[in-house]
Structure 1
């Protein structure tokens, strides 16, 4: 049964600044933000970074992925801590327009696209069908355990956390034509995001590999197959051009409270508990 969150989300919009691929240094009036970097986009798009036959989350029918290799969405139940993008904001409309540009591009057949209503930034990952003891499963909880029971247990662990009600992010770039790399709008905002992640990690008792290297992002689509290097170069050029075109339109994004959300697939995230006191 759907539960009603106990706190309303607030979002907003202002300006944008961007930088290059790699480790990101975003100039601001205060100082520079150094955020964890994305992988090399050519190596990512061509599959050189892994021995897997397909990109992460993609499987053949019956293989248990988030999406089948034809792009069709699959059942993938879990929970997560996110901030949805405000659907009434100008930034949301700009991100939708950017996604439409990708859909109209010559590269669209290599992606499966997410519904705009699902657009969000993950603050801290929860559990999924792949989560198990030693690989992100909450300490002190039986395994396996029904998703709804896990969500309820996590809710008890985090409901009284003193977290900020708002945070402001800026877009760095469009990565590999499917995901917006984002970071805190200022060094203080970036540190606040990282502090929120650490607070959630401590409260949920969910140790995660590469915790400090996590790159904040907003997914617009999933890559469903590896591409050739010449095509990867074209996609990177396209991504750079779209970043420049949509930079003034997206602006800074003000996000509301962190949402503990359930999902049954990557197409919808249902808030169960909104967190924040200040």
Structure 2
């Protein structure tokens, strides 16, 4: 999701040289922008409802929707705004590194959810954490801990969950924390870069103005049917 240079923006979002569709198109959402049934579970902190943080993210979302070529994206609802702490399981991703080692790879999602929930008894993230915006992209906001201590709490929570649940994604150690606002339907034309880069930088100033970073609810183990609604089962904070 992240990019740090114009060249990386091109690799991630621009059509030049690409002969494959954007990731998740056809599995997580269709070409018309409708989110598809793809059940699973996950560990997230929702953005505090009604907070200044939510209002700032809503403004970023509206500015993204107002940019040229916004029809190349489908946007998630405001009610779904969250930061993922640790990835659970999802129907379309059942490789061994993405699945609890104690469960068969063809276990039903509800069975896997129950198994994970049972193993969370007595588990909690050791301390609260806060986050800040590092970058705005066409897909949302790249975030990290507001302080080094906050980042350490989140990374240690990921390590502890991986050990308790028995799986560790390939990107476990360098996972990019983020808040998703949209998914890409089609690649942007090359000329979009000159429009998007300064606009995205301006959007970040809205989030930089938040005095305590982006306000989050306590992390929770959640279930979902698609990318529009993440329903808490158990708080872990």
Q: TM-score, normalised by structure 2?
A: 0.91
Deviation, structure 1 residue 138: 0.7
Deviation, structure 1 residue 159: 2.4
| Native 8 Å contact 2:69 2:188 kept in 1 | no
Partner of 1:227: 188
Partner of 1:56: 23
What stretches of structure 1 move > 4 A for 4+ residues in a row?
A: none
Aligned counterpart for 2:4 among listed residues 17, 22, 36: 22
| Native 8 Å contact 2:132 2:146 kept in 1 | yes
Aligned counterpart for 2:148 among listed residues 187, 212, 225: 187
C-alpha distance in 2, partners of 1:269/1:254?
Answer: 17
Partner of 1:203: 164
Partner of 2:173: 212
Structure 1 pair 47/107, CA: closer, same or farther in 2 (3 Å)?
Answer: closer
Aligned counterpart for 1:259 among listed residues 220, 223, 226: 220
Partner of 1:42: 10
Partner SS state of residue 125, structure 1: strand
Deviation, structure 1 residue 179: 1.1
Aligned counterpart for 2:67 among listed residues 80, 102, 105: 105
Q: TM-score, normalised by structure 1?
A: 0.78
Deviation, structure 1 residue 88: 2.2
| Native 8 Å contact 1:165 1:257 kept in 2 | no
Partner SS state of residue 191, structure 1: helix
Structure 1 pair 96/251, CA: closer, same or farther in 2 (3 Å)?
Answer: farther
Aligned counterpart for 1:157 among listed residues 119, 131, 152: 119
Structure 1 pair 218/107, CA: closer, same or farther in 2 (3 Å)?
Answer: same
Deviation, structure 1 residue 245: 4.3
| Native 8 Å contact 2:38 2:91 kept in 1 | yes
Partner SS state of residue 32, structure 2: coil
C-alpha distance in 2, partners of 1:194/1:47?
Answer: 34
Aligned length: 235
Structure 1 pair 97/263, CA: closer, same or farther in 2 (3 Å)?
Answer: same
Partner SS state of residue 127, structure 1: strand
Partner of 1:33: none
Deviation, structure 1 residue 163: 1.6
Q: List alignment gaps of at least 5 residues for structure 2.
A: none
Partner SS state of residue 167, structure 1: coil
Partner SS state of residue 229, structure 1: coil
Partner of 2:208: 247
